[in-house]
Amino acid sequence: MKTDRPDGIGLRAATLLVAGNMIGVGAFTTSGFALADLGSPEQVILAWVVGGAIALCGALSYAGIAARLPGNGGEYLFLSRAVHPLLGFLAGWVSLFAGFTAPIAVAAHGLEAYLAAALGGDLTLPGLGAFAIVACGLLHAASRSGGLRLQSGAVLAKGIAILLFLALGAWTLARPASDAVEVASSAEFRLPAFAVTLVWISFAYSGWNAAVYVAGELDRPAWTLPRALVLGTLAVSLLYVSLNAVFVSSAPVESLAGRADVGAVAAEALGGRWARAALAGIVTLGLFTSISAMVMVGPRVYAQMAADGLLPSVLAGGDESPRPAIGLQVVLSLAAYLLADLRALLDYAGFMLGLSAAATVATLFLPSVRRLAGPPVWGAPFVPLAFIGATVGSSAFLVLREPVEAAFGLLTVAVGALVYAFMRRRVG
């Protein structure tokens, strides 16, 4: 790893960066779709537990890779150095579209919907999502430290608010059995449906690798990075499982299944309209910090690619903050926000991010990487193999069920390969 940086990002800020990048729209929408597919609250809760375990396996594996291949850039850096620059470029290309642009656009649309729910009535807020994207871009372009302060404070406030909602759920669901809502249901376990649900849930957990994108800017990176990845992932996993257990236990299955606003429906069932408004406010805050985290992290990847000659060199500009790359991220996110179908984007992003992460973790088994100096990977080889197997297996089921989104994913890779060839020829 790099030498210590007294002015670098510390453990607290790095952990909160991971948490802020993870907690997004998927946590508050996925269970409605999962209930429609699985038909059982118990199976939905199990899927969130399994998804958290998969994310933790990924975080532990990435910590091992980052210790051997230090620097900013995440999957792009790892795959470029461990395998070939083409594979690294494709990972960065996937991050550009599936890892940051699509999730930022999804979060922006969700922010509009949940803020309208918090304010009540039939209010619509067109353009608010675009405003949030631009505001986050300006904030992080102006100052890294200012963006981190907002990020840390907002994530702490969001965590406290979610804990208060969990307390409401525990108090309400602890009522005498005669007053409680009956939500139990019998549903046959179907592996294909469960696997596709894991793709959605893995997308909701995505962001557990956020700290690796700024590894070169961390204070004491060899000590800070693995702890930030694991602590952030564990904390968010606990919140996700608890939060969605309350969601699916709050009302009958038929009133929750298929609802994108499952969190708001659950809150109203638990505490009435005031609870719905309060949760909508929490989600609004969460989505804004999610946009902020992704606008901060994503451009570091493109800046590193530009510095390596694989994207236009202007994107490498900036001192503390890569301002040109941030500008590119804002423009692409606005385009996706204005043009894209959100449900299709969720399938597309989950599929592509899973394959990119699995390819990255697989580098741990390359002799060239195993020979590099670094601490042992916790649980190796079983932890990395579990992550690869679960991710690739779930993606295979999604290909069978949603072939169009998978085809768009492969098209993204093909276009990326053409861009790589053009840039290499231009540099050469």
Domains along the chain? 11-427 (1.20.1740.10)
pLDDT at 112: 83
Q: What is the pLDDT of residues 214-244, one digit of tens each?
A: 666 777 777 888 888 889 899 999 989 998 9
Confidence bin at 123 (pLDDT 50/70/90): low
Q: What is the mean pLDDT of the chain?
A: 82
Question: How far is CA 176 from each of CA 181, 266, 294, 411, rounded to the nearest angstrom?
Answer: 10, 19, 43, 55
Classify the C-alpha dihedral 301-28-58-85 as positive or negative: negative
- Residues pairing with 100 in the sheet: none
Between residues 308 and 124, which one has the greater pLDDT? 308
- pLDDT value for 296: 83
Q: How far apart are CA 249 and CA 42, in angstroms?
A: 9
Q: How far apart are CA 357 and CA 354, in angstroms?
A: 5
pLDDT above 80 (res 127): yes
| Pairwise pLDDT comparison (178 vs 332), residue with the higher score | 332
Q: Are 114 and 264 in contact (CB under 8 A)?
A: yes
Which burial class, exposed, middle or buried, applies to 187 when counting CB atoms under 10 A from its CB (0-12, 13-18, 19+)?
middle
Strand partners, 218: 9
Of 210 and 247, the structure prediction assigns the larger pLDDT to 247
What span, in angstroms and rounded, lies between the C-alpha atoms of 291 and 130? Answer: 11
Q: Kindly list the distances between the CA atom of residue 87 and the CA atoms of 336, 360, 371, in Å, as whole numbers in the listed order.
A: 25, 10, 21
Q: How confident is the model at residue 2 (pLDDT cuts 50, 70, 90)?
A: very low
For residue 357, give the DSSP letter: H
What CA–CA distances, in Å, run from 152 to 10, 145, 236, 365, 415? 11, 10, 15, 35, 37
User: What burial letters (b/e) apply to 294-330, b meaning 16+ CB within 10 Å?
Assistant: bbbbbbbbbbbbbbbebbeeebbebeebbbbbbbbbb
Where is average pLDDT lowest: 99-103, 123-127, 196-200? 123-127
Task: Please check the confidence at residue 99 and state whether its pLDDT lies above 50.
Answer: yes
- Digit-coded pLDDT (tens) for 244-278: 998 888 888 888 888 877 888 888 888 888 888 88
pLDDT at 176 over 60: no
pLDDT (mean) for 384-397: 93
The sign of the CA dihedral 236, 239, 245, 247 is negative
- Whether this prediction's pTM lies above 0.75 is answered by yes
Question: Which residue shows structure tokens 């992932």?
Answer: 233
Counting residues of the chain whose pLDDT is more than 90, the rounded percentage is 19
Check residue 4 and give its pLDDT: 52
